Structures are given as structure tokens and as C-alpha cells.
Chains A and B, each alone.
Chain A
Amino acid sequence: MTHFDAETAARARELVKLYPEPRSALIPLCHLAQEQDGWLRPEAMEEIAALLGITPAEVRGTATFYDMLHTEPVGRYLVSVCTNIACLLGGAEGLLEHAERTLGVRAGGTTSDGMITLEDAECLAGCDRTPCVTVNHRYVGGLSPHAFDQLVADLRAGRRDGEIPPHGTLVRVRRNGGLRVDKERIAAERAATADAQAARARAAKEAAEAQGGAAEAKGGAA
């Protein structure tokens, strides 16, 4: 049961520790699996299930709810063209038709070389530059058909690889803060914080009572 490579497995365990309940790490772990494999393989879902103490069916059942989690293979580049209202007003339908024609696939399909999966997307919150296009969830701006062709040529030639990682890599920045503190210490500190708060509340109440209850409760920091 080692579908995850050593580094991915180590990061998976760290992610689980971040949450009060392990299952909360489900989506982050699915993203992690996609980072390793480009999509969510059945073996990965089994390993995630084991890490979280749930069944593979529960992982799959949850993952299929979310558009970004792919239980089928995806091209190296997921090109998403938004066709929602602001982009519609900015010519998105024409761009999507152009994309389908030049790539030779319908929205939802992958080019035969496995390089590009084309997607007809809902609003990507980039509605000020229309029609909004993202590649592997990186914004590449509002594109004309000509600019789209240039983008595809650049992607195929690997000219955008510096800014656009392969499909599945959601973030390139790892969390380091907080993880250096182990869970027991955080728990102890939380307990201490709660005690201090209770003491502060008591002090405030006593102070208020001492002033005949009329004074504003302003207990100093305990």
C-alpha cells in the first residue's frame, strides 16, 4: 500500500495533522494525489481512505462532487474557457467554438496527443478580462482567438512551463508555519489560553461587582 511516493506520503501525513478531524483533509489529499499523478487514480483513493480511516467509496463519492477532482485522466494542460454571463457578453461563445475547431475536440475532451483538455467553465472570478481563460488554474487573461492559438502553440512547445506547472499542481508554496509546533504543545497552549480567558472573565466580573455592578466590565489581561 504505497501508491504515494515517500515525499507525497510524508506531506499527506502532515496535512491530516492540521485538522481536528482527519476527514477534513480529504480535499487537500485529493489535490495532493492529483499533483503526483495528474488525476485521481483508484489506488490513490484507496490510500487516502486508509489515511483518513474511511472507505474508498466514501472518498470517491465525495471526490466526484467536485469539478476540480478528476477520476479520469486529464491532459497535461487543462484549458478552461469561461462562458458565464460576463464572458458571454465578452465573446466567450465564439472563443470556445474556435477552440473546439482548432483543437479538434469538443469541450470536455482531450487532444489525441494527451496535451490539452478543453473545458467549458463556469465563472472563474476573472470577469474583468473576458473571455476569461485559465490553464491548470493559472489565469492567462481575456483571449482573442489569435491569442488563444498562440497560447496553445506556447503550451505545446513548453514555453509557458515556468509559470504553468503540469496538471494537478495546485500550489507551489508549502505550509511551514505552525507545523513546527507539535500537536500536544498546541493543545496545551489552547488549554492555557482558555484558562487565561476564564480568569480574565472572572476578574472582570469581580471588578464589575466591586463597583456595584454599574461599571463597565473591563478586566485587565489575565
Chain B
Amino acid sequence: MAVTDVPRIVTARLGHDDSHTLERYLATGGYEGLRKALTMTPEAVAAEVDAASLLGRGGAGFPAGRKWSMLRKDPVTYLVVNGDESEPATFKDHLLVERDPHQLIEGVLITAYALGVTQAFIYVRGEFALGLERVTQALNEAYDHGAVGTDIFGSGFSIDVVVHPGAGAYICGEETALLESLEGKRGFPRIKPPYFPAAVGLYGQPTVVNNVETMSNIPWILLHGGQAFAGLGEGRSAGTRLFALSGHVRRPGAYEVEMVKTTFRDLVYAPVYGGGVRGDGKVKAIIPGGVSAPWFGPDQLDLPLGQDEVGNAGSMLGSGAITVMDSSTCMVRAAWRITKFFARESCGQCTPCREGSGWLERVLRRIEQGEGREEDIDLLLDVSDNIAPGLQWPPQQTTICVLGPSIPSSIHSAIDMFRDEFLLHVKEGRCPGG
């Protein structure tokens, strides 16, 4: 069992009850990364992050260094942090926002300095009331400490940071929808291209959007060097990653593990992580990267937790959420609930997504309630194919954002892996599991 002995990067302080306070932060190396960055040129700071091979932790896994370098050719106007975390079963940014807000703020300040940005926004999911309080409090403390505001730490660099609350809409996690929301509008994703808000972002200005966990890694990278970070993990998947483990495990929770060196099996079974599967201990299926990701069976438990490794196996690490379903789980019910989520959260701009999600939800509900027909199973695949033609991974995009093409993932997986169970629902007119 590979539980590697590596430094904790983003969760180093979480053992302390007062991990969110400035006192604890300063007593544990807080704002040292920022002080160091301010003695360097912005270019050198960005080079350090580039060397780290830090992949974005929000879902798409785009290298942070590369994103920044696209922008450094043109002056960047805004930095926006994505703390909207609403992908079902994902709860790692929630932890970072509540338990180590100074680390997040320090990451934002260093990034702003590297990009030459003087205005940053931290968009926090509205439901995180305590998280919003903690970040606001931390920001107030950081201002008093001289780390934010005018001439920070006497460096001549000035920056303002605004904490912005969301108001409950999954789609606002999609970065262009998030910018619309930040402009005071409905969270409608913008039509692409441009593919990145780099060129046309907030108020039409060049903007970098990065995830909370991505930002929270930056202070450590500055303090210990990009090479030290790149030395952890393997290949493109450098460093550690915070995984939100949920479902039928004995110890659900958010665990920071070394990438690639750790496998799904390690995460689910190691006593320090998931501690094994509840009930009869058998894994029926796992959802590897949030509900937008195709599922894996127990035969794939030995896959390493690495971006390319999981991608090549036909799914994704996505938002870092891993949900374990044991042998008692009704797969029709699971697929139905996930589809219901998409039907509720589709923003409605694109017909395949808006209409397709509703259809799929109704057909799945009918099967689950024992009123399904055998043809319904192929109907599900057919409607899915209309949303994401070919049902391949990664899906073909027919809509403005990738919410739509993500809808078929669970349905396709469930039918592929458990068609017999769907048939039994239809034949027996009820859930065979009871």
C-alpha cells in the first residue's frame, strides 16, 4: 500500500483548530512566500510556477504557468479566483476557504504580483457562509498586516482584493459564467472562442481565472521552489492533490495525497484515508472526478491518481471528487439523481442540454419507479448521443459549455456496466435491490 511520505502542501496547517487565524498563519511561515516573491521580478515568480508544473485544480487541469504566460504578452487587468465549488461530491475548496483563508489570500497576492494585476476578486460560493466570513476576516487582518492594499510590505506594489459572494447556481463555476455573474448578470456561459478569458474577460478586459486549490499551492511553491514541487508526483501530474472522498467508505473526507504515486485503491483502503468500504466491503463502481466523469469498476482501482493516467483510461480526475458505491447501490437510482442535478442546473441556453437533460431525467425516473420499457434503455443512449455525439471521452462539444456534454457520462457508464440491472428494473417493475 503506497501511502507516500511527502510534505503536506495545502493542508499543512489543518491539524490546528485555529488554522484560519493570522496568528497561526504567521507562526507557520505565513506570508513568507509573498515576502520572497516581492524581492524577485514578476517574471521570475511566474517562472517558478511554470517550473512547478502546477496543473489547475478546478477541473480542466490546464497548467497554471502556461495560462499566465499567455497573458503576460498582453497586460492582464484582473485576477479572478474560482471558489464556486458546486460539482456534486466535491468539497475540497470548501475546506481550504474555511480552514486556511490566509493561504488562499497569499496565493492570490503572489499571483497578482507575477501578473502585474492590481485588482483581484475571490468569488466564493454563496452557500459557504462561514467560508465567506473567514476569508473576509482574513482579508481584514491581511490589510492591517500590510500584506494587501497600498505599497504592500513596502515593496511599491499595491493591490486591492474583493471577496465576492455567489448566490447559488452550479453553472457559475464555469469560468465565463462566473465572470458574467461577477458583472452582476445571470450566470450564462459565454460563447467560445475566445477559449480563455485571457483575451476578453471581466468587463471585456484580459483576465486570469484560477481555482482556489490552484492558488493555495502558490505560497509553498514560492517558498520551496518550483523544482521541489515538480519533484513530487510524476510526469505532468506534479505535487500533491486534495481529493474529496465520499460515498460508502468508512472514513469520508478530504485527503491530500501525492499524485500518481497513490492509486484509487490506496485512497479508498488505506487506514489513514478511506479506511475501506462499508457494508460487505465490495466496490461496485467509483465516480473518479465529480459527476461529470465516466465511472470506473473495481478492476480499475489500481490506476494511479494522475491526470494523464486517468484520462487515458477513459475518464478524468476533474474536480478531485471520488465517490465510492458499494454492492448495495442501485445504479439506476444513482444515474437518475445525477441526471436530475444536471436538469436542474442547466442554464437553458442550448437546446440539447436543456431539453436533453429533462428527457433523460424523466426516462430514468420511469425506469427507477418500475414503469420503464425495455426500449427505454436504448432511448437513453439515443438522447445521450444527441447531446454528445459518439458518446466518446472526452465528449464532443455541441453546446456553449461542457455542462451539456457531461450529462451522458453517468448514464452511459451505468448502462455500459450494469445493463442487466436496468433490464431487471424493467422486467420486475421495481428496483431489484428493494
A contact residues vs B (CB 8 Å cutoff): 18-21, 23-28, 30-31, 52, 61-63, 65-69, 83-86, 88-89, 122-130, 134, 136-139, 170-178, 181, 185-186, 189-190, 192-194, 196-197, 200, 204, 217-219, 221
Contacts and interface: CB of A to CB of B under 8 A. Distances in A.
A67 to B, nearest CB: 3
Contact of B184 (A23, A178, A185): A23
Given A123-B341, A176-B143, 10 more contacts: A23-B185, A25-B184, A85-B247, A126-B91, A138-B130, A173-B132, A173-B137, A173-B140, A175-B140, A178-B160
A216 B141 CA distance: 38
Contact of B44 (A27, A89, A171, A218): A218
A85 B169 contact: no
B158 interface: yes
Contacts of B381: none
A21 B139 contact: no
B126 A177 contact: no
User: DSSP majority for the A interface?
Assistant: loop
A177 B91 contact: no
B405 interface: no
Interface of B: 41-44, 85-91, 93-94, 116, 118-119, 125-130, 132-133, 136-137, 139-144, 148-151, 155-158, 160-170, 181-187, 203, 244-248, 252-254, 287, 291, 321, 323, 325, 329, 333-334, 337-338, 341, 344-345
Contacts of B185: 23, 26, 62
Contact of A85 (B42, B181, B337): B337
A196 B344 CA distance: 49
A69 B169 CA distance: 10
Contacts of A181: 149-150
A84 B341 contact: yes
A173 B88 CA distance: 28
Contacts of B156: 193, 196, 221
Contacts of A176: 140, 143
Given A122-B170, A177-B140, A193 B132 contact: no
User: DSSP majority for the B interface?
Assistant: mixed
A20 B167 contact: no
Given A23-B183, A89-B323, A175-B139, A122 B133 contact: no
A125 B128 contact: yes
B246 A127 contact: yes
Contacts of A136: 129
A189 B158 CA distance: 7
B88 A171 contact: no
Given A62-B186, A68-B127, A84-B337, A171 B144 contact: no
Central interface residue in B183, B291, B344, by most chain A CB within 10 Å = B183
B246 A86 contact: yes
Contacts of B118: 189-190, 193-194
A19 B183 CA distance: 9
B181 A27 contact: yes
B167 A139 contact: no
Contacts of B128: 125, 137
Contacts of A189: 118, 150-151, 158
A85 B149 contact: no
B167 A69 contact: yes
A87 B162 CA distance: 33
Central interface residue in B42, B87, B247, by most chain A CB within 10 Å = B247
B148 A86 contact: no
A171 B169 contact: no
Contacts of B90: 123, 125, 127
Nearest to B337: A88
B323 A85 contact: yes
Contacts of A139: 130
A130 B36 CA distance: 42
A134 B127 contact: yes
9 contacts: A21-B203, A52-B184, A89-B246, A123-B89, A126-B94, A130-B246, A170-B165, A178-B162, A219-B41
Contacts of A196: 156
Contact of B345 (A88, A122, A175): A122
